[in-house]
Amino acid sequence: MEIWINPACSKCRSAISLLDAEGADYTVRRYLEDVPSEDEIREVLERLGLEPWDITRTQEATAKELGVKDWPRDAGARDRWIAALAAHPKLIQRPIITADDGTAVVARSEEAVRDALSR
């Protein structure tokens, strides 16, 4: 499994601690440094079963500057959202764990991390 993290994020550090405590085999991706491409974001969204606006941190300063809260949330605007996430990775909700079974979870809670571990 792989976990997308921002080391400054307490939820990310908690998820890593739990993965370590459970002896999980995983790879860390510091997604602010190793920025996911638009295609990688599309793949993760498919694995999550979510839309790009579902994983966008709309309260970030960059999101406010871009005005994303006012962007349409429909199929026609999907590529615009994905492009924004790729251009401004800080907008991506974290942590995201891609599980070995081809699924993924936004692992902001202990329950979500345990869900990923069970897959």
CA dist 75 and 112 (Å) reads: 27
Does residue 12 have an active-site annotation?
A: no
Cα 71 to Cα 42, 49, 63: the distances in Å are 18, 20, 11
- Tell the burial category of 102 from Cβ atoms under 10 Å away from its Cβ (0-12, 13-18, 19+): exposed
How far is CA 116 from its chain centroid? 13
92/110 Cα distance (integer angstroms): 19
**CA torsion 43→38→75→2, rounded to 10°?**
30
Q: Which of the residues 2, 4, 8, 9 is marked catalytic?
A: 9
Catalytic residue numbers, as ranges = 9
